[in-house]
Structure 1
Amino acid sequence: MAHKFVITAFVTGSRILGRSFVAAYKQAQAASAYQRAQAKNGNPTSGAASLTGNMTLDEACKILNVKPPAGGQADIETVLERYKKLFDTNDPAKGGSFYLQSKIVRAKERIEREMGPIREKVEQEAEVKEGFKPKMYKDR
């Protein structure tokens, strides 16, 4: 009699588990289709950018309270100064918010990512302007 109960419980549990996996798969497919449709329509707030946690340059500038880079130029010292002040202010050990602190870090990273290619281009132009000067190392 006990084996009949165990088999019934196993079969019922398997059916419930199977149905939940099927429902989760259908939901994941629907979410994926919705994301593709939003990305196709050019809606960045609902597309891949929001799902990966990336923020826009405008949002990053608002978080750090700095002006967006105009013409590819931004005051990195101001960005770093605002970052340090806001990061220290929101320290969880001092009663701040870890969430806000992480948003501040992501905002700094976003601005640095935007400024990276621009900085490289300025460095290359300066190198071309002054001429190529290879670094010389002396052998010992």
Structure 2
Amino acid sequence: MRFRALFAALPILLAASAATAEGVSPRPEGGWRVEFSQGQSALSTRDRHALAGIAQTLAPIPAGRITVQAQASGPADDASIARRLSLARAAAVRDALVAAGLVATRVDIRALGRLEPPADIAEILPPGVPRATPGTR
């Protein structure tokens, strides 16, 4: 019962989060989105600060996995480039969350590569928020 109450309150927690900065924003479906420049996987100092706030928001949630899924708008004719870049982005976001105090064993990463439409993002999905179903890569 306690977990149901927590999951029922989760959308409110996510919407009320103050952890936004340039490049990091709340997703309408829940969770957060980190935007990257095309071809880049490095996080700015502002993004790291925002991710530290998100880690503090997620750390008290007692159970459930956090997923970081990333995409890249790499060339359509070479899926491996987009897959590697999206993996680097997901790892960078995970590492920033862990550095800010989130337990590493609670964070899964998914490298989605290039999806349609192409995007240069990583998404942080707390427990209870639906995960993407990969489309065309």
Name whichever structure is richer in strand by fraction.
2
TM-score by length of structure 2 reads 0.25
TM-score by length of structure 1 reads 0.25
Q: Could you say which structure has the larger radius of gyration?
A: 1
- Structure possessing the higher relative contact order (Cα contacts under 8 Å, 6 or more residues apart): 2
